[in-house]
Structure 1
């Protein structure tokens, strides 16, 4: 069944069920606009299995509220969430899956990032419907069966393939102008903006972060760091410490997409990520850099 708002529902869900399920995403958008993390999190069950685009898993409703409170007071302060339910599939009278798309924009309507989510909603005694599980993802923008950043290639002895250089970061005075240069000249794709103006691009294989230079900071303009997509953080950490470099440190940042920061023997920074650096997927079968 297709509703007047474009939402599709299948099996035995009633129009009232569809309205109540869509209302969950409307309430999330309302909580986001108000900077009210408790209102945002109230749409999830107490023990909701929530996964962010970076692979983080906050513990239930309390973790969702705490994480979004930090976002609303920090990098996403004053932003607006446009949440759209795309499809609802009823698995039974009290259980359904939901596909939804969300765009975060600045107050003047400039899109910062778009995500796609697959959720499981459940009819509960606490509320007609609540979100039981929620997995947020950055959608692919190019055709292709698999993202090269997500593929762990086997070697002859069964181990995963060697780490791949997949990320470069430049501190820029004007990230938007530089992003326009790389998109127009080299056909790179802009797939994410930070609220401070930092831009993230990809050629389908390697992500390029153009980080906004802060006038009151000590970080110089120019090349800042690079990043490896790895299969096993623990094994890589062991190899780094065996080579005499410091153990990788967890990155406490809201920027996508790497989990750890390390350095080589001369102090050059690089990131380590098991889940990849985001961006559009490459065309199938064209990864000649593997």
Structure 2
């Protein structure tokens, strides 16, 4: 017997409620600092990709990774998870677009992510997340500059790396952020739980990293960063120049993948996906 249109619509509404409940449960697990509750919304073999491109092994890896976050930099934070759209691909399969914001207990937003997920109906549970790809939205340079960066050089070489990031160690990042936003109209787009602030003028990102009182890192300029188009080619060029092999950045800040050093020991970051920040104003011209 075929379902009537009304029965089919009611079943879809019920499925949508179950799917939205997955994100509500994730938020509940996050607020409780309960990594097991957070991870219970995923299948055992879920294909999960973090904002840094890491791929923890299934539900157990998701639980372990979030346990480290809840015990470390995101302890006490709150997750606001919002399902933007659900599209059914069949009776037991759907895609989900979702947005999430992590905030301090006081309500200050720290970071916002977008995710595309695949959910499926399972014998053990009405719906679970089968695949999940998370990302922090990065700005796209002005259209003209984007086209220039994508075009190869005349001799076929990769596009030139662009200086896109500066980092300063600051005693009071919030005060310094207020200075750069008020005087130079930069936009604050991310805060770390320790109070470090990340700003952008639409083209270059500025990290104001909180100085640790018991650390030996001096205040002031700390490092800079290049947006590159070909990681392998850049590594090859650095090796040919006799500099140390770039190291993967093991950090919860997802704005660069590698840290390298020039011949005099100055640090710089390398990122193929970009350094984050707001989209530049409409109609702005590209800048090198």
Residue aligned with 2:20, SS: helix
Deviations 1:218-253 (A, max 9, x none): 111100000011122222122112211111111111
2:65 is matched with 67
Q: Decide whether aligned partners of structure 1 residues 262 and 12 sit closer, same or farther in structure 2, where only a CA change above 3 A counts.
A: farther
2: CA distance, partners of 1:71 / 1:207: 24
Greater helix content: 2
Tell me, yes or no, if the aligned pair for 1:40 and 1:65 is still in contact at 8 Å.
yes
Q: Aligned match of 2:245 in 244, 247, 250?
A: 247
Aligned residue for 2:88, secondary structure, equals strand
Q: Deviations over 1:138-190 (max 9, x none)?
A: 236799779959x6332224432011111100001111111111111111111
Structure 1 pair 228–141 and aligned structure 2 pair: CA distance change class (3 A): closer
Taking only aligned residues, the RMSD between alpha carbons, in angstroms, comes to: 2.4
Q: Tell which structure's C-alpha radius of gyration is larger.
A: 2
Other structure's SS at 1:184 match: helix
Q: Does 1:195 align with 2:193?
A: yes
Q: 1:55 and 1:205 mapped to 2: Cα distance?
A: 23
- CA drift at 1:72: 0.8
Gaps of 5+ in 1: 1-10
1:155 equivalent to 2:167? Answer no
Equivalent residue number for residue 78 of structure 1 = 76
Give SS of 1:238's match: helix
Q: 231-240 or 219-228, which moves further after superposition? A: 231-240
Q: Which of residues 106, 127, 133 in structure 2 aligns to 1:129? A: 127
Which range is displaced more, 73-82 or 13-22?
13-22
TM-score by length of 2: 0.89
Structure-2 change in CA distance of 1:225 and 1:88 (3 Å): same
For residues 255 and 201 of structure 1, the distance between their equivalents in structure 2, rounded to whole angstroms, comes to 14
TM-score under structure 1 length normalisation: 0.89
For the residues of structure 2 that align with 1:74 and 1:80, how far apart are their CA atoms?
Answer: 14
Cα drift, residue 137 of structure 1: 2.4
Residue 97 of structure 1 aligns with which residue? 95
Could you report, residue by residue, the CA deviation over 1:102-160 in whole angstroms, capped at 9, with x for unpaired residues?
A: 111111211111112221111112311111121222236799779959x6332224432
